[in-house]
Structure 1
Amino acid sequence: MTDDRIQRVTMPKWGLSMKTGKIVEWFVGEGDTVAGGDDLLDIETDKIAGTLESPVEGLIRRLIAEPGEDLPVGAVLAVVAPEDVPDAEIDAVVEEAKAAIASGALEVGDEPEPQVVDVGGRTISYLTLASEEPAGDPVVLVHGYGGDKNSWLFVQQPLAETGTAIALDLPGHGASSKDVGDGSLAMFADTVKEFLNALGIERAHLVGHSLGGAVAAAVARSAPEKVASLTLLAPVGFGPDADAEYLRGFAAATSRRELKPLVGRLFADQSQVTRQLVDDLLRYKRIDGVDKALSAVLGTLLDADGHQAIDTRSLLADVDVPVTVVWGSADRILPVPDGVELEQVEAGHMLHMEAAGDVVRLIQRRR
């Protein structure tokens, strides 16, 4: 019988499309002691590169995966166990792990498919992930300007391990209808409220990024009974400064050459900007109706002078639900505001991609 003190670090599943991940670089070695949340290694997927944080604590006895290897989701990457566990037992676990990879037994099966629901005459696409016996109010994830439900790929699965996590595409984004009407904040907030009603959700923990943060705050202001808590990630409307050049440039970009340097501003770590990420955004921007939708929403985000036109701080003034505001310390799109009680993480504007572990922990704190 295998010693139950032996722990395995496995290839994570970041998003539904991920089947394998390539080992880029280890930050730890055999004989090192790690704690939960420590950076272990960088992994590159078909969509984006990310850092795997340790899900366990203890002594690293073996590193199985080598830099450059492309391994399936679920493959054992490292073995953690106390020093008094015999080497023979560790070696047996390693051989078992290698055999599982070689046999093809780790191939990813069928995954949950995104669904659609009619909300106010618009088709809204969403993805639900849940644990076997989800408890408590669900977490609903609301993306930012130009984003979609896939931007939560590093966050949604971990949240779903202990409950239900739902990511939706706002109107004008992702696979949802491209009609945004006047593109107003009220339209987006009404859509989210009606979305919750359509799915029979009485109350939810709302997590909003950037524009999605203002949308979540507007929902909490107008329908506080629907909101268990708010977690706002670099929300718009907390200061007068914004990278108007980025917002206008993103709305107008029609080529990879124009788009790639703009996308680079979203991240502190430029290695996150993969060709696939830029290609996916460019493909979205070429869908009929997207240019009109982005232009309409741009008028909601910025005034004629390029200042933020949404005042999210005022929206929250009378909101009586638990609120957590989180910001990336290296955010170039919406710099960290003054005079706001907030949590900072080491990341750029896309903090839920660059510092996913920290973001998940802060969301879990409210559940």
Structure 2
Amino acid sequence: MILVVNAGSSSIKFKLYETNDKNSPLPIVEGLAERIGVDGALTIKIEDQKYEYNDRYDNHLMTVESILKHFKELNVIKNELDIEGIGFRIVHGGDKIVKPVELTDQNKQAVEDNIKLAPLHNPGALTAINAFQKGLPKAKLVGCFDTSFHQTMPAKNYLYSVPLKWYENHKVRKYGFHGISFDYITEKASQILNKNKNDLNLVICHLGNGASMCCVKNGESYDTTMGLTPLAGLMMGTRCGDIDPSIIEYMAKELNQDVYQLTNSLNKESGLLGVSKISSDMREVSKAAIENHDEKALVALEMYTQRIAEYILKFANQLEGKVDAIVFTAGIGENSFITRKLVIDKVHLLNLKLDNETNLREYDDYLEISTNESAIKIIKIRTDEELMICKETLKFL
């Protein structure tokens, strides 16, 4: 079995896979431990059954021990040796880690070294890694990094037009995120289109509460929208995306706030929530815009979709017009038909034709939603980052 872990400072999200068929690992259990260090809550789902526990978790190690104890009680595992590998989703690997790695002491040090680049995410991941290492000492630990897929970007795309010594001395550059999802979608699109991954050109729109896009050239990341942090690029649920950096100095004077307070506002009070004044949830914003004709919600929806459309054109230009498909994925990309329609309607320089009926249709895995007249295929694909991490972890066993 392979356990896939996505950990934060006070939570551990997990999914357990059975891997008798290495090509098609089977998810058998998923769950979430939260409020670690407060009072503790654990939910474990097995098929349609949900089990809830309120054990006390003072730290991640106690949480891991509790998860394993309940796995045994529920007959998920006979003993700890059943779990041969653990794959961790880790946000930031810096510019040295370019692919999934075994979490040796050296590679764990890289996670720690990059805490300054991902202060909200890497500490929780590192704590969880150490806890699982103690709880499952025989298991192989593998790290899959959201940044590693983007390490193929050329310098002209990852460097900022700031003093070069900022990059040389302080590692200021575009790193990009959502790399595990982009990697999965690239593999999946290769199968769907029956095209060699090394010849595949895609524009991928990963649209969730956090959102980014990737320009995939010959199966590798060539450019992406997020930057040094996940704050850059597209307008998101609560994040601003690209703005004039001078706004920070201006508002610091206007509000008498420091850069930390303003950055918090740009991360948590901006985007769809900030403009609409309604919600960070696209479902609520689009409902208010379309059904209630709310002016602020309509502006937020127009801004959100306009920026995606403009990046589609930018990335198509970088691919010299040789685009095999435009892919929509993640929560909004997979499920919001109105977002997809508004985005495609705003791409005027490419001959894109959306099949409105297919765009509305339910689907499990993927569905092509363009007409035969469309110059580029448009596909909605359900991403599966956990499965990607499971498969990468299997390679190390």
Report if TM-score (shorter chain) is over 0.5. no
What is the TM-score normalised by the length of structure 2? 0.32
Higher helix share: 2
